[in-house]
Each structure stands twice: as structure tokens, then as C-alpha cells.
Amino acid sequence: MSLLNKYKPQNLNDLVIPNTAIKDLLDDMANGYIINKLCFVGTNGTGKSTAAHLMPILIEGFPPNTVHLVGEEKFDVSNAINQLSTINNFGWAAQKYQYVLFDELDKVKNSLAALWQTMDTFNDKVIVIATANDFMKIEKAVRSRFQLLDFGLITADDFLPRAQQILGQENIKLKDSYVLGQLQTKQSLSDMRKYFDTLSDIQRNHNAGRIQQTHYV
Ligand SMILES: Nc1ncnc2c1ncn2[C@@H]1O[C@H](COP(=O)(O)OP(=O)(O)OP(=O)(O)O)[C@@H](O)[C@H]1O
Ligand SMILES: [Mg+2]
């Protein structure tokens, strides 16, 4: 199993979130402060989808029923509206809220007006969490309904504590300076997937005995 899959974040503490305002907001939501329409924005691999998928679980304390939509150029609006109709019908009474996760909202090229008219008929018991690379590419009427959370850049320094935690669990105990130096080679991409590639490289080189003894603690 790849390190990326093995160490998928299971709670907020596993999440690398350099922006403390975002971390506080996610914490507050997990503890009952609710924003009904939230859009996570940032470049590829900054953890938007991961955070979005975690939120319903953290808010409810178990994995709740969730409508999951994925944006694409010719998004099927009537199919989405059909899926949303299940929200009122299935009596999801055990849940505090009902959830719609809309990944890649900015990839939709056709109008979502009909979908949002439907959404607006729901009361504040529905929480919509969207993710997007480019907020400005989202249809204006839709965009204006969302509170925006910018995931920004994930630097090598931001990722270092999580990297050391993972390497430690793999029984690889290296100095921060060495691990940081390796992570920095991927920093310009600010992509968590690339940092995980570095961890796999480190693990492979460790297993092959290629890392100098002076780099170990
Ligand atoms: N905060 C995190 N800490 C550690 N690993 C993470 C974190 N967030 C995401 N990952 C891992 O990095 C990978 C990419 O994360 P994710 O898919 O959430 O990024 P994204 O921002 O939605 O990217 P994209 O814009 O390409 O959809 C996932 O495999 C996930 O398990
Ligand atoms: Mg994503």
C-alpha cells in the first residue's frame, strides 16, 4: 500500500492546514458552528477534497448519508436535482444535518441556476461543501452564495511535522534538516501528493541503505 493511501487523514489533527484561520473554522464546525455553503479553494493537492469529505463525519460523529456531486463540463443538472430529492425523502432523522459535497465545482460549464433554485428551497439543515481550483470560474450566481476558504500554499515547513510523524510510524528516524531538504525539492508544486512521493523516495532509499548515517537521529 502506498504511503499516500496508508496515511489518508482520518481526523483534523492529521490534516496539514497551514492557514490557522481555516483550521479554527474547521474545528469550530466540527464542534457545532455551522456555515451552510462553504467552498474550499486552492491549487491541486492542497487537501480540499480530503477536508471536504472529512467534515460531515466530524460534524455527525459517524459517516452520514451524503449526496456527492462531481463537476464536469456538461454537468447533468437534472440528475443532480434527482439526487437532491432524496434528501427530503429518506428521513435521515439520525443526522443533525444533510450534506451535499460538490467536488470540482469550477469544472462545470453549463448553468447551475436550476440546481441552485432547488438548493435554496432547502432549509439551513443542509450543508453544502464545494471544492474548486479556480473560484472565479464558478458561475457568478453560484459563487456569491458560498463562503470561500482559500487553502493557499503548503510549504515544505508546513508538511514537515506530518512527514516526520509518518516516517516515525514507518520506523525511519531522520533529522528534520534532512527531511526538510528533501521536501523542499517539491515545494514549488505545493502539492501534498508530491510530498508523499518524497516520503516514498526516502523510505525506498532508507531500505536500500542509501541514506548517510549522519542524517539519522
Ligand atoms: N492535509 C493533509 N495531510 C496529509 N495528507 C493529505 C492532506 N490532504 C490531503 N492529503 C492527501 O493528499 C492527496 C490529495 O489531497 P486532495 O485530493 O484532498 O487534494 P485536492 O486539494 O482536492 O486536490 P485537487 O485540486 O487535485 O482535487 C490525498 O490522497 C490525501 O489523502
Ligand atoms: Mg479535489
Specify whether the CB–CB gap between 166 and 199 falls below 8 A. yes
Place of cell 473560484: 135
- What Å distances lie between residue 42 and 27, 182, 197, CA to CA? 19, 23, 20
Nearest protein Cα to ligand 1, atom 24:
44
> What is the DSSP secondary structure assignment for residue 106, as one 8-state letter?
G
> Ligand 1 centroid to 214 CA: how many Å?
32
Ligand 1-lining residues (CB < 6 angstroms)? 4, 8-9, 14-16, 42, 44-50, 131, 133, 162, 192-193
CATH number for the 17-150 domain, one of 3.40.50.300, 3.40.225.10, 2.40.40.20, 3.40.50.2000? 3.40.50.300
CB-CB neighbours of 127 under 10 Å: 23
C-alpha cell, 62: 459517524
Q: Per-residue pLDDT for the chain (217 aa), expressed as one digit of tens each? A: 899 999 999 888 889 998 889 999 999 999 989 999 999 999 999 999 999 999 999 999 999 989 999 999 999 999 999 988 877 655 566 888 989 999 999 999 999 999 988 888 877 889 999 999 999 999 999 999 999 999 989 999 999 999 999 999 999 999 999 999 999 999 999 899 999 999 999 999 999 999 999 999 9
> Using CA atoms in the order 59, 60, 62, 64, what is the torsion angle rounded to 10 degrees?
-100
Identity of the amino acid at 56: P
CB-CB neighbours of 83 under 10 Å: 14
